[in-house]
Amino acid sequence: MDTGKEFDKNVLLDQEDVLRPKMVTVEIAGKKYEVPEGITVIKALWYSGQEVYRGIGCLGGYCGACATYYRTKDDPKVRTCLACSMAVEDGMSFSMVAPFPARKAIYQIGELKDPKQDLFNLYPEAPLCRNCNACTEACPQGIDVRDGVWKAVFGDFKSVSEMFMDCVMCGLCVPVCIADIAPNLVALYASRAQGVHFNEKPPKLQSRIEEIEQGRYASEWDKLLKMDEPQLKEVCAAIK
**Residue among 7 and 100 whose Cβ is closer to another protein:** 7
206 touches another protein (CB under 8 A) = yes
205 touches another protein (CB under 8 A) = yes
| b/e sequence 219-231, b meaning 16+ C-beta within 10 Å | eeeeeeeeeeeee
34 touches another protein (CB under 8 A) = no
Per CB under 8 A, the list member of 32, 103, 130, 208 interacting with another protein is 208
The H or E element that residue 59 is part of is none
Site track 36-75 with another protein (rule: CB under 8 A), x = hit: x-xxx--x--xxxxxxxxx-xxxxxxxx-x----------
**Residue among 50 and 117 whose Cβ is closer to another protein:** 50
143 CB-near residues (< 8 Å, 6+ apart): 136, 163, 164, 166, 167
Three-class SS string for 75-117?
CCCCEEEEHHHCECCCCCEEEECCCCCCCCCCCCHHHCCCHHH
Per CB under 8 A, the list member of 15, 76, 77, 114 interacting with another protein is 15
State which of positions 134-193 bind another protein (CB under 8 A).
161, 165-169, 188, 191-193
**Residue among 101 and 202 whose Cβ is closer to another protein:** 202
**Residue among 69 and 107 whose Cβ is closer to another protein:** 107
From residue 161, alpha-carbon distances to 1, 106, 121, 189, 190 in Å are 42, 19, 20, 9, 7
Q: Which stretch binds another protein (CB under 8 A): 90-98, 123-131, 148-156, 223-231?
A: 223-231
Q: Do residues 164 and 193 make contact, with C-beta atoms less than 8 angstroms apart?
A: no
User: CA–CA separation, 185 vs 173, rounded Å?
Assistant: 10
Minimum Å gap between C-beta 132 and another protein is: 26
Minimum Å gap between C-beta 31 and another protein is: 15
Per CB under 8 A, the list member of 100, 120, 154, 221 interacting with another protein is 221
Per CB under 8 A, the list member of 5, 74, 101, 108 interacting with another protein is 108
Per CB under 8 A, the list member of 30, 110, 113, 214 interacting with another protein is 110
Q: Do residues 122 and 107 make contact, with C-beta atoms less than 8 angstroms apart?
A: yes
For residue 25, count other CB atoms closer than 10 A to its CB. Answer: 13
Minimum Å gap between C-beta 99 and another protein is: 9
